[in-house]
Amino acid sequence: MEQNVRSKMLVVGYMLAFAVLTRLWPHPWNATAIGALALFSGSQFKNSWLATLLPVAALLVSDFALGFHATMPFVYGALILTVLMGQSVKTSPLWLGGASLVSSVSFFIISNFGVWLVAGLYPRNWAGFITCFEMALPFFRGQWVGDLVYTAIVFGGWAVVRKVVGTMAKEPQQFPM
């Protein structure tokens, strides 16, 4: 494997570890780097399967430590949707900020629909639906702030790495995989 590919894979490994750690260390509710990693991998990997594998692996590894739950299909589905959003994102700050906010809103809607539908915490009627979403609002605050901050960190960090490592800066922006 050539040095440049090894360098990129090392950076990806660090991003994966960083995303996992943000779920494991103390943090405001839902303020993690998983969503930012999903946007990044969607926008930077040519191979859609690899783009999806990176954030799903980060979520799965951290779920092994945190525990599994009935709403996992909704959470993972919302994360995969964020990867797909990332495939159409331009890497300008305005586009990234907008995509980050849209992914936060979609994650909130999808994951909390799952909570209402399968977790058994709320009655399956209109009042239960509204209550579920009302109770989730504190989680949403952490979600959108965390997604914006970590999107800036992940994409900004990648821009710095590309400038610092000259061989990476001369190549196309996307990963060849």
Q: Can you list the alpha helix ranges (DSSP code H) found in the chain?
A: 3-24, 34-44, 48-66, 72-86, 93-118, 126-164, 166-169
Looking from the CA of 59 toward its CB, the CA atoms found within 13 Å total 22
Residue 27 belongs to some domain of the structure: yes
Check pLDDT > 90 for residue 97.
yes
- In the chain, the number of structural domains is 1
DSSP state of 30: T
Give the list of residues 6+ apart from residue 75 with CB closer than 8 angstroms, or none: 59, 107, 110, 111, 114
38 versus 168: which is more confidently predicted? 38
Mean pLDDT, the chain, integer: 89
Residue 152 belongs to some domain of the structure: yes
Domain residue limits at 133: 3-169
Count Cβ atoms within 10 A of the Cβ of residue 68 and give its class: 0-12 exposed, 13-18 middle, 19 or more buried: exposed
Residue 175 belongs to some domain of the structure: no
Report pLDDT digits (tens) over 101-153.
Answer: 999 999 999 999 999 999 999 999 999 999 999 999 999 999 999 999 999 99
Residue 176 belongs to some domain of the structure: no
Question: Residue 90 — pLDDT band, cuts 50, 70, 90?
Answer: confident
Q: Which CATH number characterizes residue 42's domain? A: 1.10.1760
- Give mean pLDDT, residues 161-171: 65
The first and second tokens of residue 100, run together, are: 């980050």
- Give mean pLDDT, residues 16-24: 93
Check pLDDT > 80 for residue 8.
no
**pLDDT for res 9:** 79
Alpha-carbon 70 to chain mean position: 20
Count Cβ atoms within 10 A of the Cβ of residue 35 and give its class: 0-12 exposed, 13-18 middle, 19 or more buried: buried
Q: Which of 63, 62, 41 is nearest to 50 (CA)?
A: 41
**pLDDT for res 169:** 45
Check pLDDT > 90 for residue 155.
yes
DSSP state of 1: -
Residue 154 belongs to some domain of the structure: yes
**Dihedral sign for Cα atoms in the order 71, 23, 27, 101:** negative
pLDDT > 70: what percent of the chain?
90
pTM above 0.75, yes or no: yes
Backbone phi and psi for residue 87, each to the nearest 5 degrees, phi listed first: -70, -20
Check pLDDT > 50 for residue 48.
yes
Question: Residue 171 — pLDDT band, cuts 50, 70, 90?
Answer: low
- Give mean pLDDT, residues 152-158: 91
